Structure 1
Amino acid sequence: MINLKLREVKNDLSIKELEVAQYITTHTQTVKNMSIQTLAKLNYVSTSTILRLCNKLGYSGFSDFKVDLISSSPQKFSTDILQDDINLNDTLEDVNRKVQAMEKSSIDDTHSIVNLNALDNAIDLIIASNKIVIFGVGSSGLVGKELEYQLIKIKKDVNCHFDAHISRSIVSTLGKNDLIIIISHSGETPECVELLKLAESLKVPSIAITKMGQSQISLLANIVLHTTSMEHASRLIPIRSKISQISVMNMLLTNLFIRKYDEHLLEQTQSREKRKYPHHK
């Protein structure tokens, strides 16, 4: 998992941080037994550089990073398909094979980087919130709309509008017992940043579903649920990022529904079963 995280945040690292990251990737077993001072000395950097790297990887400090490093097992990444863009002259079979590989890769990567504490806190926050506003742009907005639909099932007062001005007006009415959920692959979507800043000024709690690494959105949100960020140059369709967002949403919703399972949800399940199989008793 460490190698995956390093790959995800590669573009957000400084030159010195990147050099340390490459050293860790090459000397993983040795680094497991190193102190932060030794690692810094070997790479001719300060310990603060190491700590910044750990922070960008999602760890609270070097000790937290070491625990994950020690428990991580080496992973092999497919490079024959996953690092090839879909070409316009690909056959139907080639395209389908590459799409399947991208989807599988995105799901596996997303599950491997999930922060269970952040996920648990996000679920608690959704349950405790009176009103919820969800916002995303483009395909992220479509994921947000699906999240809205599912949250309605557990009787949450939730709104997801594609219009940033409408969302801003609604967020302006929220308070500390409400919630805003932002979905943005890049972590830099201007409309999303603006809404988070407004929420912060009103002391409205926030959850962001965004790529790993430092961004305006990850710095502004109270809770961050990470998605994978690897998209190839062609990017005809944002397959990886969209599948990753859906995976995070499904983890969030499934655990949320389990916690909120009551007579109301039981009746919904039984009613759906009766509609599907009307002759079954």
Structure 2
Amino acid sequence: MIDLKLREVKEDLSAKELEVAEYIIANSQQLKNISIQALAKLNQVSTSTILRLCNKLGYRKFSDFKIDLISSMPKKISSEVLQDDIHLNDCLQVVNQKVQMVEKSSIDETYSMLNSDDLDKAIDLIINGHKIVIYGVGSSGLVGKELEYQLIKIKKDVNCHFDAHISRNIVSSLNPHDLVIIISHSGETPECIELLKLANKQNIPSIAITKMGQSQVSNLANIVLHTISTEHVSRVIPIRSKISQITIVNMLVTNLFIKQYDEKLLSKTKKREECKYP
């Protein structure tokens, strides 16, 4: 969904990049056979401007951007109820309806932004990682604990501590065969940035689960899995960002279980079923 991705990174675009993006969306049906050179000439910009726009939207090449634009025309995932925050004078039923709509749209939008290649690479890093350190602050840390619990099920050596000092000490002991996973909605959490810099210094692979757009966390991580950045409901209750992070974690874990589903896990599943349904 190009319009969704544009909305997520709009603040990071230059004036020329924004003009090109709006032109592409307005003329998407006519862009099937257009080259990057022709598009640049039509908008009176350089091809490097268009490539920067594609990179900011999560595409490595212009051709990837064009294929996505043509093959999956944007569909609006919106509702009037999502245009307003939850108010203090809302009744219980209205609050519940708004929360439901926020959660549904968060899952749909996260799926729409998902880069399958990056997800597959992240899965391989987790499978091959000898030791894994997960870190996040606040609600992101709670999502990290959920990921830790799920990875323990497939017998991974994983740690998720809320204390940044403990995490820093553990990361200091890692090597290039290990892995660091950072969860940060803003992408600017100081502790997360520090851990990624430390990981890079020691050549430790890293995965970041963070909002779409340019940030220090996304620039430092080897693999970035994007979550949605819009937060209609007050950040005191970060429903959208948390649901988006959980969606990414569930996709990671489900695919990991499928790839790691060996005889031991099959036996464990059967024993659990037998205990529950003798």
TM-score of the two chains, using structure 1 as the length reference: 0.95
The superposition leaves residues 3-26 of structure 1 with CA deviations (integer Å, 9 ceiling, x where unpaired) of 111111112212221222222222
Distance 1:51 1:22 in 2: 15
The superposition leaves residues 22-64 of structure 1 with CA deviations (integer Å, 9 ceiling, x where unpaired) of 2222222123333222322333322211111000011112111
Any runs of at least 4 consecutive aligned residues in structure 1 with deviations exceeding 3 A, and if so which? none
SS in 2 for 1:214: coil
- Structure 2 gaps, min length 5: none
SS in 1 for 2:230: coil
Q: Give the conservation status (yes or no) of the 8 Å contact 2:86–2:233.
A: no
Q: CA deviation at 1:103?
A: 0.5
Alignment partner, residue 15 of structure 1 = 15
SS in 1 for 2:225: strand
Task: Let me know the Cα RMSD of the aligned residues.
Answer: 1.4
SS in 2 for 1:9: helix
Q: CA deviation at 1:233?
A: 6.2
Alignment partner, residue 57 of structure 2 = 57
Alignment partner, residue 273 of structure 1 = 273
AA partner of residue 37 (structure 1):
Q
State, as a whole percentage, how many aligned pairs show the same letter.
Answer: 74
Q: Give the conservation status (yes or no) of the 8 Å contact 1:32–1:69.
A: no
Alignment partner, residue 190 of structure 1 = 190
AA partner of residue 272 (structure 2):
R
Please say which of residues 236-245 and 7-16 is displaced more in the overlay: 7-16
Please say which of residues 89-98 and 229-238 is displaced more in the overlay: 229-238
Alignment partner, residue 28 of structure 2 = 28
AA partner of residue 131 (structure 2):
K
- Structure 1 gaps, min length 5: none
Q: Give the conservation status (yes or no) of the 8 Å contact 2:51–2:62.
A: yes
Alignment partner, residue 103 of structure 1 = 103
Distance 1:235 1:166 in 2: 27
Alignment partner, residue 129 of structure 2 = 129
Task: Confirm whether residue 224 of structure 1 aligns to residue 231 of structure 2.
Answer: no
Q: CA deviation at 1:212?
A: 1.2
Alignment partner, residue 145 of structure 2 = 145
Q: CA deviation at 1:169?
A: 0.2
The alignment covers a number of residue pairs equal to: 278
Q: CA deviation at 1:109?
A: 0.9
AA partner of residue 246 (structure 2):
I
Distance 1:172 1:119 in 2: 26
Q: Give the conservation status (yes or no) of the 8 Å contact 1:207–1:222.
A: yes
Alignment partner, residue 68 of structure 2 = 68
